[in-house]
Amino acid sequence: MGLTAARRPDSTTPGRSHGDQTPALRLLSLGAGVQSSALLLLACDGAIPPFDAAIFADTGWEPQPVYEHLARLRAHAQRHGIPVLTVSSGDIRADALNPDHRFVSLPLHVANPDGTKGLARRQCTSEYKIKPLKAAARRLLGYPHPTRVPAGVYAQQAIGISTDEFHRAKDADVGYLRNVFPLIELNWTRSDCQRYLTDNGFPNTPKSACAGCPFHSNAAWRHLRETDPDGWAQAIAFDAAIRHGHPRANQAGHRLRGRYYLHRSCQPLDKVDLNPPAAQHRRDAAAQRSEPEADPQGCSPWSCRGEQQDRSAPRQPPGEWPSVEAMPARRAA
pLDDT for 228-244, tens place per residue?
A: 999 999 999 999 999 98
pLDDT, average across residues 281-287: 47
**pLDDT higher for 247 or 328?**
247
Query: In the predicted model, is pLDDT for residue 112 greater than 50?
Result: yes
How confident is the model at residue 208, as a pLDDT?
Answer: 87
Mean pLDDT of 260-276: 96
Distance of CA 116 to the CA centre of its chain: 29
The mean pLDDT of 38-65, rounded to a whole number, is 97
pLDDT above 90 for 10: no
Choose between 191 and 281: higher pLDDT: 191
The CA distance from 250 to 244, in Å, is 8
| Residue of 295 and 193 predicted with greater confidence | 193
pLDDT of residue 17: 35
**Cross-strand pairs, 29:** 55, 159
Nearest CA among 157, 131, 142, 135 for reference residue 53: 157
Q: Is the CB of residue 194 less than 8 Å from the CB of residue 34?
A: yes
For the chain, domains (ranges, CATH) are 25-318 (3.40.50)
Spatial strand order in the sheet of 109-111: 117-119, 109-111, 259-261
